[in-house]
Amino acid sequence: MKQFSLVDIDNYIKLLDFSKIEGGLIPVITQDSESNEILMLAFANEEAVRKTMESGYVHFYSRSRNKIWEKGESSGHVGEVLDIITDCDKDTLLIKVKQKVAACHKGYYSCFFNKFDEGKIKDIGTKIFNPEEVYK
């Protein structure tokens, strides 16, 4: 698990550009650290990035609930931070994680399981848990 000192967290936060999306948000992509599979895309504000760096577990900002949430807070399917990378404009993060069980709330390991195929959307994923059992 990657954790940062408070001094480093402050320095890294200052480097990031939270000004481009309303509400001071930046896109955050999580990626499986071993397979490099993209797991999900969500948004984070400064507080969520700070909590991610302090705890070693991925946190996001929910635009629908207007609050910070830890990935896996209700399911236990947490994303353990192994590395954090920013893009060239410093307004997007790629967080490499060790994902517990799955990243997608619909039961798939990755949120990216719908493929455009011959005018339709084809399910190319394998469901690994039943959301109705996990999110009661």
Q: Is the dihedral of CA 16, 93, 101, 3 positive or negative?
A: negative
| Predicted structure pTM score | 0.94
What letter does residue 6 receive in the DSSP assignment?
H
Domains and CATH numbers, the chain: 6-134 (3.10.20.810)
> pLDDT tens-digit profile of 10-67?
999 999 999 999 999 999 999 999 999 999 999 999 999 999 999 999 999 999 999 9
- Rg over CA atoms, the chain: 15
Strand partners, 57: 80
